[in-house]
């Protein structure tokens, strides 16, 4: 199991590093094409709109055919999307590249399902925290690397080197899955065809209300996270005149504390506090960070607010994911993970599609204030989901 987790950890770092490189760049690309803020953020939301429909399908396919084929197929599609992004000369090519990337985004759901496959129930929160830390490490390093490759100045930034780097990293990740990572979901563990055919996102959520509460809670948290990620570069450009390099390093302020939480602190806190309480505290810390960010008038306050947001996300995400995974029955873990991830995908559609309009029409603080109000509801939803699980691990 240790060898499998080590290989999976490395895969997640490489994969999300490639994706994270592009996070601070897309808003600048759209801005260069002459697109207004309320139309820039929906380009980011198009990725999640496509992922919303694709993630449950990838989850069911991973239950049927195994985790490795899904990991490699989705990464191959991601490579194509990065090439298109590097070649984009107008907003439409940028939109196509983001939509293709969203349709092929089955790798993270499959990676979490893989981690659940190879971990014991009592160790699952720690294992998922480890994988979350790997993803966090990729996102931690990605934005500053992308900023370094693109350049300091917003007007002269070049986006081809970051796209090439993201493509090469995805190819390395495909090779890692192909030659190092063994299959975790062997044929004897896969559900019969009749069981595969009848499952769907809405049916799973109706049958397992605790999963539904957690999915809605994660929708609320991820909605505000998507607002933060989609509007922050625009906000920083207007507030401080910052370019890709500075924005990449500021986003490091969210990713690094989340990485520390998921990579080590969660392992210590879960046995003492339990997943439910830790998830609730994570929500409250994240809300406090958003409120501080909405009132920030200096870079020092901005950095402190981003760090607080990162701590909250680092506490919430692995805890909530562990609670959701307990609603699976072993053979349908991919479908459960796909349904849970779909809630986050919906939030990542809603966040970018609203953040630009909020920024444009209600002021620069409005996206963060709205995100805080929505996210606060997640604390009650997580508490509501507490109790014995309905499904056996």
Please report the pLDDT score of residue 278 as a whole number: 93
Please report the pLDDT score of residue 210 as a whole number: 84
Mean pLDDT for 209-235 is 89
Please report whether residue 190 resides in a domain.
Answer: no
pLDDT over 70 at 198, yes or no: no
Comparing 366 with 392, the larger pLDDT belongs to 366
Please report the pLDDT score of residue 390 as a whole number: 44
Mean pLDDT for 31-40 is 76
Please report whether residue 32 resides in a domain.
Answer: yes
Of the candidates 348, 386, 291, the one whose C-alpha atom is nearest the C-alpha of residue 50 is: 348
Please report whether residue 135 resides in a domain.
Answer: yes
pLDDT over 60 at 330, yes or no: no
Total domains in the fold of the chain: 1
Average model confidence (pLDDT) for the chain? 80
Cα–Cα distance for residue pair 78/74, rounded to 1 Å: 6
Reported as a pLDDT band with limits 50, 70 and 90, residue 196 is very low
Determine contact, residues 170/107, Cβ cutoff 8 Å: no
Sequence-distant (≥ 6) Cβ neighbours of residue 144 within 8 angstroms? 245, 248, 249, 251, 252
Please report whether residue 142 resides in a domain.
Answer: yes
Please report whether residue 30 resides in a domain.
Answer: yes
Domain of 71, in residue numbers:
2-181+196-385
Cα–Cα distance for residue pair 164/160, rounded to 1 Å: 6
Please report the pLDDT score of residue 131 as a whole number: 78
What is the pTM for the complete model shown?
0.69
Please report whether residue 393 resides in a domain.
Answer: no
Sequence-distant (≥ 6) Cβ neighbours of residue 363 within 8 angstroms? none
Most confident of 51-55, 227-231, 270-274, 343-347: 227-231
Cα–Cα distance for residue pair 249/24, rounded to 1 Å: 10
Please report whether residue 187 resides in a domain.
Answer: no
Q: Read off the CATH number of the domain in which 130 is found.
A: 1.20.1250.20
Cα–Cα distance for residue pair 40/59, rounded to 1 Å: 30
Please report whether residue 360 resides in a domain.
Answer: yes
Please report the pLDDT score of residue 223 as a whole number: 93
77-130 pLDDT, tens digit each: 888 988 888 888 888 888 898 888 888 876 777 777 777 777 776 676 677 767
Mean pLDDT for 257-280 is 84
Please report the pLDDT score of residue 376 as a whole number: 95
């Amino acid at each position: 199991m240790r060898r499998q987790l080590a290989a999976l950890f490395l895969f997640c770092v490489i994969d999300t590093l490639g994706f994270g490189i592009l996070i601070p760049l897309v808003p600048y690309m759209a801005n260069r094409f002459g697109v207004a803020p309320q139309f820039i953020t929906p380009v980011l939301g198009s990725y999640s709109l496509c992922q919303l429909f694709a993630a449950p399908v990838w989850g069911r396919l991973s239950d049927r055919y195994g985790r490795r084929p899904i990991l490699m197929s989705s990464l191959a599609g991601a490579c194509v999307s990065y090439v298109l992004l590097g070649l984009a000369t107008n907003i439409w090519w940028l939109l196509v590249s983001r939509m293709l990337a969203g349709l092929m985004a089955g790798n993270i759901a499959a990676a979490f399902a893989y981690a659940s496959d190879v971990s014991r129930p009592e160790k699952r929160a720690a294992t998922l925290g480890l994988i979350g830390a790997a993803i966090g490490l990729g996102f931690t390093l990605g934005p500053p690397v992308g900023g370094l490759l693109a350049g300091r100045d917003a007007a002269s930034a070049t986006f081809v080197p970051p796209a090439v780097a993201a493509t090469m990293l995805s190819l390395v990740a495909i090779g890692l899955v192909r030659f190092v990572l063994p299959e975790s979901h062997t044929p004897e563990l896969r559900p019969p065809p009749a069981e595969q055919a009848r499952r769907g996102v809405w049916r799973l959520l109706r049958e397992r209300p605790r999963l539904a509460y957690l999915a809605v809670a994660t929708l609320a948290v991820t909605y505000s996270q998507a607002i933060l990620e989609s509007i922050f570069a625009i906000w920083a450009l207007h507030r401080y005149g910052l370019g890709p390099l500075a924005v990449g390093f500021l986003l490091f302020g969210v990713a690094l504390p989340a990485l520390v939480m998921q990579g080590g602190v969660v392992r210590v806190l879960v046995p003492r506090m339990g997943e439910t309480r830790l998830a609730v505290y994570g929500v409250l810390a994240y809300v406090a960070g958003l409120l501080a960010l909405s009132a920030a008038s200096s870079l020092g306050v901005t950095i402190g607010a981003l760090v607080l947001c990162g701590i909250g996300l680092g506490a919430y995400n692995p805890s909530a994911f562990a609670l959701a995974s307990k609603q699976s029955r072993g053979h349908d873990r991919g479908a459960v993970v796909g349904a849970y991830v779909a809630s986050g995908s919906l939030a990542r559609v809603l966040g970018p599609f609203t953040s630009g309009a909020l920024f444009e029409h209600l002021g620069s603080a409005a996206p963060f204030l709205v995100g805080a109000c929505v996210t606060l509801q997640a604390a009650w939803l997580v508490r509501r989901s507490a109790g014995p699980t309905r499904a056996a691990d």
